[in-house]
Amino acid sequence: MSQDLSAIRQQIDKTDIEIQELLNKRAQLAKQVAQAKYAEEENPTFYRPERENQVLQNVITRNKDGLLEDSTLTLLFREIMSACLALQKKLRVGCLGPEGTYSQAATFKQFGHGVDCILLPTIPDVVKEVEAGNLQYGLVPVENSTEGGINQTLDCFATMQLQICGEVELPINHCLLSNATQLSDIKIVYSHQQSLGQCRKWLETHLPHAEKRAVASNAEAAKLAEQNPDSAAIAGKIAATTYDLRKLEENIEDEPNNTTRFAVISQQTVPPTGQDKTSLLLLPTHVEKAGSLFELLQPLSDNQINMTRIESHPAKIEKWQYMFFIDIEGHQQEPTVNQTIEALKSHAFVKLLGSYPKAIL
């Protein structure tokens, strides 16, 4: 071994010691924060999305000339914050199970691995458990960049007594998983309905002979494929390891930028960060009137509020009656946003679903 290489490794060892000492110092400060909060209030809130957003934005700002990518650094800092938060109070976060779902992956991306991730059978179950206070937070899929809104989640948003307090975007890379050795052996493909849609062209080209069966989650699809040797599942890489399946094909989604957006739901409201969104449900009161949708959205234009998403969804009150889910830039506490929401109320029933920091990476 050359003297130069030996010296570099010694510097690395010294740096590792310094990093470990600093991590322990941060953990000790986190415990001091907990002590201070308990001194001020009986049941303090420890997870603060606006504070985490600020920390991660600062990480990205400091990294202008760094060698590590922003995504790598934010991942590391999320895990550091997650471990420190667990020293204060370990969070219970619910998401759609079973083990190996994209919802579980999104939960760990948002909260780190320092939380108790509670896997539940359905999206409504996630909402109910958070509403009941059995979980502090839930994470539910809202929309996919290829297939659009998740209907079951939108139904829950219409009735839930919770707030959206955060969002996370997860790139979706689908694999074909099976115990079969070749595509010609596969007779059935299991997957969530959304994933079947996201891989429609690939399936038509490579597995036109196979029956496509929609199930509750991609992890459930992997479990079924594990039990049935002439079947396959569309799921993520983590499911291959979890259910001991071969990855016959990777990245089979039709769109390379396929991404799913998830919402964090809780009983917590979040103060402004300066980089926020607000989600609203609108049920128009004058649907029979010509130009009612234009009239409904006019306050956004009048107040120069940017709408980043609009989606219609059956109101399930009367046939052909629709409600609209919209996302706008800004926070409900900002005067212009608040004025806009008040103006919308003259044209529709308005349910404020929450204001929250925009997703980071």
- How many C-beta atoms surround the C-beta of residue 289 within 10 A? 12
Q: What CA–CA distance (Å, rounded) separates 293 from 17?
A: 61
Strands (E), the chain: 92-96, 116-120, 137-144, 148-149, 163-171, 175-178, 188-192, 211-215, 231-235, 246-250, 259-266, 276-284, 307-314, 322-329, 348-357
Tens of pLDDT, residues 59-111? 999 999 999 999 999 999 999 999 999 999 999 999 999 898 999 999 999 99
Q: What CA–CA distance (Å, rounded) separates 360 from 53?
A: 8
Q: What CA–CA distance (Å, rounded) separates 273 from 53?
A: 8
Q: What CA–CA distance (Å, rounded) separates 6 from 149?
A: 55
What is the residue-averaged pLDDT of the chain?
Answer: 94
Tens of pLDDT, residues 182-220? 999 999 999 999 999 999 999 999 999 999 999 989 999
Give the global pTM: 0.91
Q: What CA–CA distance (Å, rounded) separates 296 from 340?
A: 11
Whether pLDDT at 295 is above 80: yes
